[in-house]
C-alpha cells in the first residue's frame, strides 16, 4: 500500500509529500532520487495505486532547488516510496533559479539523475535562448546537453 502524507487539502488542489512508507509489493527496482528533503507535489487531482500515482491539472513537483510543472505527471516509486521516475506531459516547465526550460514532455530518471525534455524544448535564461530536439539536464553536474541546438545569445557591450 502506498502511503501519502497529506499536508493540507486546498480548494481544487491536493498537496502531498511522498514519504518513506515501505511497500513490499511490485515496486520497480530503479534507484530512488537521493536529493535532500522531500519531493512535494501539488495538483488538482490525484489517482494513486501501489507503486505509481497520476497527478492531473496544474501539477507542480518541487525539490529543494528544482520545480517541474505540467498538465499531467505519472510518478513512479521505488522501495521505501521514494520517487524513481516522473513522466510529465503537456505545457512542461522546468525551473531552476532564473533558468526556465519549456517543452511538451519531460522524463525524470532518478538513477541517472537527469531530466530529458522533448517536444520542442526551449531553454531561456535572461535574454539568451537555446532550442533543440532534445534537452537533457544532468542534475548532479548542473549542465545540459542539447541535440540539434540553435542558440541565440544577447550581445553585451
| pTM assigned to the model | 0.75
pLDDT at 132: 96
Condensed to tens digits (0 to 9), the pLDDT of residues 97-124 reads 999 999 999 999 988 999 999 999 999 9
| Greater pLDDT, 123 or 2 | 123
Task: Work out the percent of the chain whose per-residue pLDDT is above 90.
Answer: 56
| Rounded Cα gap, residues 138 and 144, in angstroms | 6
Cell 526556465 found at = 100
Domains and CATH numbers, the chain: 4-152 (2.60.450.10)
Q: Which residues of 47-83 are buried (b: 16+ CB within 10 A; e: fewer)?
A: ebeebbbbbbeebbbbbeebebbbbbbebbbbbebbb
Cα 37 to Cα 100, 103, 134: the distances in Å are 22, 26, 29
Using CB atoms within 10 A of its CB, is residue 27 exposed (0-12), middle (13-18) or buried (19+)? Answer: buried
Given a cut of 90, whether residue 8 has pLDDT beyond it is no
Amino acid at each position: 500500500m502506498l502511503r501519502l502524507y497529506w499536508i493540507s487539502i486546498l480548494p481544487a488542489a491536493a498537496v502531498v509529500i511522498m514519504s518513506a512508507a515501505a511497500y513490499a509489493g511490485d515496486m520497480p527496482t530503479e534507484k530512488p532520487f537521493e536529493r535532500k528533503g522531500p519531493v512535494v507535489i501539488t495538483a488538482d487531482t490525484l489517482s494513486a495505486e501501489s507503486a505509481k500515482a497520476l497527478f492531473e491539472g496544474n501539477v507542480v513537483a518541487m525539490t529543494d532547488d528544482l520545480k517541474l510543472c505540467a498538465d499531467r505527471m505519472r510518478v513512479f516509486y521505488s522501495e521505501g516510496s521514494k520517487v524513481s521516475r516522473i513522466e510529465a506531459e503537456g505545457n512542461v516547465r522546468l525551473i531552476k533559479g532564473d533558468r526556465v526550460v519549456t517543452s511538451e514532455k519531460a522524463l525524470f530518471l532518478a538513477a541517472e539523475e537527469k531530466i530529458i525534455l522533448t517536444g520542442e524544448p526551449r531553454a531561456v535564461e535572461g535574454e539568451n535562448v537555446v532550442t533543440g530536439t532534445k534537452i537533457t539536464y544532468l542534475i548532479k553536474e548542473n549542465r545540459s546537453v542539447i541535440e540539434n541546438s540553435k542558440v541565440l545569445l544577447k550581445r553585451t557591450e
